[in-house]
Amino acid sequence: MNSWLYRIRLFLFKRALHPLKSPPKNTHTAQVIRPRRILLLHHLSEHGDAQKLHDFIQKIQSPQSILTTVLYCNALIPRTIPKSYCITPADLKWNLVPRPATTQPVLQQSYDLLINLAPSMIPPLHYIALHAKAHLKVGLYTSCEPLYDLTIDIAHHRQTNYPSIVYEILRQLSVRTENSMR
């Protein structure tokens, strides 16, 4: 895609987000200690290892929590990952906002924890992170507008081990909130 055309589309995407304001946050300690409903956002590139991501999703799922995964796949033929919503460029409007039919099942739910593992600002995932009803939003540090309650800077790592990042996020949240209850 031409870079000037993409910049125009990105500009229109940001304009579409501007009039919207995120709802006030109301974080309950009990929900943060053991989040029951988790929304995980991730970018699956053309060369992404779908099997590795599928194995990771299987590991993080537990009987006491419900994990919803939304992937942005920029490949022409997306790799399917069971129990995941996959958004492709065909699912986007001209201004890079996902079509309502694509995001409606995800945005109608309420979540205890949202984790965005996209390494940069991916417009459809940014849109979902902005509009999702989550008590606590966690994301990787990027230079875009502040959207998350907690950001993690991984710029100094050459290879990112996303499973260990998610495990560390869940562990740190559990340790911090349990200590604050004492």
SS3 track for 60-90:
HCCCCCEEEEEEEECCCCCCCCCCEEEECHH
Listed by start position, the domains of the chain span 3-181
Helix axes 162-181, 50-60, angle to 10 degrees: 20
User: Is the CB of residue 144 less than 8 Å from the CB of residue 121?
Assistant: yes
Q: What digits encode the pLDDT tens for the residues 21-71?
A: 555 555 444 445 567 888 989 887 655 566 677 777 777 777 777 888 898
Band (pLDDT 50/70/90 cuts) for residue 181 is very low
Residue 6 scores a pLDDT above 80 = yes
pLDDT number for residue 143: 59
- What SS3 state is found at 135? strand
Within 8 A by CB and 6+ apart from 4, the residues are none
Quickly count: other Cβ atoms within 10 Å of residue 12's Cβ: 15
pLDDT number for residue 30: 40
The CATH number of 3-181, from 1.10.3470, 3.20.20, 3.40.50, 1.20.81, is: 3.40.50
Within 8 A by CB and 6+ apart from 14, the residues are none
What is the rounded CA–CA span in Å between residue 65 and residue 139?
20
Q: What digits encode the pLDDT tens for the residues 76-128?
A: 666 667 678 889 899 999 899 999 998 999 999 999 889 888 877 889 999 99
